[in-house]
Amino acid sequence: MTLARRINRGSFFAVGVTAVLAISACTPTFNLTTVPLDPNPEVEIRSFPSTAGLVDPDVPIQFEATGGILTDVSVIGPDGAVSGILSEDGLQWTSTQSPLEYSATYTLEATGSDSRGRTQVLKESFSTIKPEKFFSAKVSPTNGQDVGVGLPVVVTFNKKVENQAEVEQALIVRTTTPILGAWSWASDRVVEFRPKDLWPGGTQVQIDVNLTGVEAKAGVFGKRDTRTSFAFRSAVVSVVDAQTHTMDVFRDGELLRTIPVTTGKPGFETRSGTKVLLTKERSRIMDAATGGTSTSDPEYYRVNAEYAMRLNYTGEFVHAAPWSTGSQGSDNVSHGCVGMSTTNAQWWWNENNVGDVVIVKNTPRGQDNDGNGITVWNEPWTEWLIRSATGAQFTKPLQGQVPEAEFAVASVDG
């Protein structure tokens, strides 16, 4: 058997040696000289974040290897091992468990190996920050609700927020399809999210409030992360035209019915604008005295209105008005409410719920985003963005729905 055949069959293999071949007339012989391996491995391991000081719990832990690959990583905290993922090339490990705990110590150990099988081990530990003051948030709509497309997402904080951009970045809006929207601050404790246009009907929404490690202001940190999931119903939008004295009722863009109505008469004009239904009552006593009208005033009234739904806080409703059926469809005779026949009001009341939208147009009295009801849709988009610290943004995909990269492409295309 020749030397070449013996090596190819794997019956001979030498590592870290030099071989001198002496050939005689009959049989080859070998003289072997041992060459010692370099005991210092070429692989180097670095960890992030720095372990020199206290660490924010929302910062992911990472290990990187140069001159070799990572072969084993272990991060242990108060609740046991911290999960992570190793890159395909073996050069980087990143924790996937976020956030870490406050006031906790974590021990890190990583092993790397170079191309000659030599290993390097890195052992470190760090502690997370220990806040003395916390802030928290409450989200509306609440978990599990099924709401109308006129409701904005409202996040209310229990303490004043000075670092508005940092807090906005911690509020993630996820939806079934990409939607362009923006956060806007109503006060230093309240921030609202709305799309540029009304929410699409049937949209599933998830709000991730990732406050752990976030400072509302110096020394005040988010207490915990929360998640709220809800859905928007079919888009029910009613358009009231005070000049034609009609109400067109749409569901998801399809016209369901045109209803003769009456709106506010001169001196009591209904406010024009986009309004959101606030309450739903089978019947309600309408008393002009609650608005400051004296019982001796000719404009005083007290009636029982059936199928009533509130439009704002100063007394505008949509309701049955059997006393004005002769004017419905031809004249405006109310004190600011939208009135219709009892039959039409019953049908409309059954089609609508809190959060659905009523758009009033062609009256001389306007309505701004003044807080008299849910009036966010009356503010021009450019003005809404002025009070946003992070600007317009597309929503992100629901977790487990589609890859975020594909969702981003759909956002741009949309």
Catalogue the active-site residues: 319, 337
| CA–CA distance, 84 with 62 (Å, rounded to integer) | 9
Q: Interior CA angle at 231 toward 257 and 236, to 5°?
A: 10
Residue 20 structure tokens: 């001198």
| CA–CA distance, 95 with 59 (Å, rounded to integer) | 9
3-state SS of 106-157 is EEEEEEEECCCCCEEEEEEEEEECCCCEEECEEEECCCCCEECCCCCEEEEE
Residue 41 dihedral angles phi and psi, to the nearest 5°: -70, 150
- In the DSSP assignment, the letter for residue 68 is S
8 Å CB contact between 31 and 23: no
Q: How many Cα neighbours within 13 Å face the side chain of 232?
A: 28
Cβ-count burial 328-340 (b if 16+ within 10 Å, e if not): bbeebbbbbbbbb
- What's the one-letter identity of residue 15? V
CA nearest to 171, candidates 156, 186, 160: 156
Would you call 243 helix, strand, or coil by DSSP? coil
CA nearest to 222, candidates 156, 170, 155: 170
| CA–CA distance, 198 with 181 (Å, rounded to integer) | 10
3-state SS of 73-105 is EEEEECCEECCEEECCCCCEEEECCCCCCCCCE
8 Å CB contact between 205 and 189: no
- In the DSSP assignment, the letter for residue 352 is -
Given the structure tokens 């072997």, which residue do they identify? 32
In DSSP terms, which residues pair with 249 in a beta bridge?
238, 257
